[in-house]
Amino acid sequence: MKQLLFEDDPQFWFETLRVFGHASYGGSDFGEVVATASRIKPGDYDSWHDEWLAAAERLAAEAEKAHPISARDAYLRASTYYRSAEFFLHGNPADPRIAYAYDRSVECFHRAIEGFAGVERVEVPYEGHVLRGYFYRAPGTGRRPILLAHNGFDGSAEEVHFFGGAGGQERGYHVLAFDGPGQPSAIHRDGLVFRPDWEHVVGPVLDFALADPGVDPDKVALLGLSLGGMLAPRAAAFDSRIKAVVAVDGVFDAGSAVTAFLPWDRAEIERRANAPEDEELDRLLAAGRAASPTLRWATDHGRYVMGAATNREFLAKYLTYTLDGGVAERIQCPTLVCEATDDLVFNGHGETQSEPRRLYERLTGPKTLLSFTAEEGADAHCHVGAQRLATARVYDWLDETL
């Protein structure tokens, strides 16, 4: 898709498109996004924060005085804008602006869902902590299929509202959206960083979901977004209670998003990343950050959510997020692999096969590859420009599969 704003900064454009996309389920409004984005200085993280925060504050103040439905809608959009405000600040986790904007985003989302029928906050017991999320209960009686859904490297359980939460509920699915370790509520509230063995995260969530008498245990699906497109298949490889898995978008080796910037093969990069010192790798990562807005943001955020002190340590940890070593081949439930044909992160960078296709080719069980294209306005990472279209196709596949 053509970059309509921030022509020299694909990362700022992608995050703006992401906010645009949430309009599909009421999470933004076109004019508000254009007006806000047009005031932001390209590449300036402070400007990005200040403008989105100002938009969120104005809208939240309006919601306080609005009638119930108007307030619900305004709070939902304000939640999106607060979340956007702190998005690029994680290079300095001590920045007080992060906690303020995050807390306000969640608070506004909670106020918003008070106006939606059948949506409740939940806490899933997890290793002495809780995983926070939302249960979207399908209307009617009797047992219903359930979709467990989580985000990826940088998204939240609140954002799943726009990526299948609301869309599943209206189709007769229960949806349990949750944050796992490394994801916003877990990192903000409890300091829980990411872990690659995601089956140990999904297991307790499955226990929680299957204890609900309204859930059909034979119709349990799991969906992961972005990095979740590797994490969800990983969980499905080790837990037979999952009857279908959806990767939006599919990821075989998450490390490819960073290794594409480096001149060595993966084994050499892994050796260097885990070495006590490697000045050459450090210099190349610094140069990559200077040249690529995406790598600059990814390393800042990656240190934060992976619990890494340096960019090289982040890389070493991130390289463990892979389905290699026979993991992909273990997945036996039907798998839907979604592919964005112009993915900013996992497209192979014109040199190797895209991550969705790498995953698809390694699967040995029932599998479907679903490509989203520029003609559809859906070719961006996780189809953020076409969330209604993506939601429809995912649930139609689930209907046929379950």
- Residue 344: per-residue pLDDT: 84
Q: What b/e string do you get for 212-228 counting C-beta neighbours within 10 Å, with b at 16 or more? A: eeebeeebbbbbbbbbb
CB neighbour class for 197 (10 Å; exposed up to 12, middle 13-18, buried from 19):
exposed
- Best CA proximity match to 81, nearest among 110, 111, 104, 114: 104
Across the beta sheet with 144-150, the strand order is 119-126, 129-136, 174-178, 144-150, 215-225, 244-248, 335-340, 367-372
What would you report as the CA-atom Rg of the chain, rounded to the nearest whole angstrom?
Answer: 20
Known catalytic membership, residue 24: no
- Cα torsion 131, 133, 139, 141 to 10°: value is 10
Contact 355, 382 (CB under 8 A): no
Query: What distance in Å separates the CA atoms of residue 207 and residue 210, rounded to the nearest whole number?
Result: 5
- Residue 261: per-residue pLDDT: 86
Query: What distance in Å separates the CA atoms of residue 142 and residue 47, rounded to the nearest whole number?
Result: 50
Residues in a beta bridge with 56: none
* pTM, full prediction: 0.96
What is the β-pairing status of strands 174-178 and 129-136? antiparallel
- Residue 1: per-residue pLDDT: 77
Residue 307 identity: G
- Residue 348: per-residue pLDDT: 65
Could you give the 3-state DSSP secondary structure of residue 247?
Answer: strand
pLDDT tens string, the chain, 402 residues long: the values are: 788 899 989 999 999 999 999 999 999 999 999 999 999 999 999 999 999 999 999 999 999 999 999 999 999 999 999 999 999 999 999 999 999 999 999 999 999 999 999 999 999 999 999 999 999 999 999 999 999 999 999 999 999 999 999 999 999 999 999 999 999 999 999 999 999 999 999 999 999 999 999 999 999 999 999 999 999 999 999 999 999 999 999 999 999 989 988 999 999 999 999 999 999 999 999 999 999 999 999 999 999 999 999 999 999 999 999 999 999 999 999 999 999 999 988 876 555 689 999 999 999 999 999 999 999 999 999 999 999 999 999 999 999 999
Residue 77 identity: R
What is the β-pairing status of strands 335-340 and 367-372? parallel
Q: Provide the greatest CA pair distance for the chain.
A: 62
Contact 184, 84 (CB under 8 A): no
Long-range residue pairs from 206-214, CB within 8 A, at least 24 positions apart, any chain: 206/148, 206/239, 206/241, 206/242, 208/122, 208/124, 208/125, 208/176, 209/146, 209/148, 209/174, 209/176, 210/241, 212/146, 212/174, 213/143, 214/137, 214/138, 214/142, 214/143, 214/144, 214/174
- Residue 109: per-residue pLDDT: 98
Task: Find the catalytic residue in 79, 156, 185, 226.
Answer: 226
Q: What b/e string do you get for 97-111 counting C-beta neighbours within 10 Å, with b at 16 or more? A: ebeebbebbbebbeb
Domains parsed from the chain with CATH numbers: 10-111 (1.20.1440.110), 119-254+321-401 (3.40.50.1820), 257-318 (no CATH)
Contact 26, 113 (CB under 8 A): no
Q: How many CB atoms lie within 10 A of CB 134?
A: 23
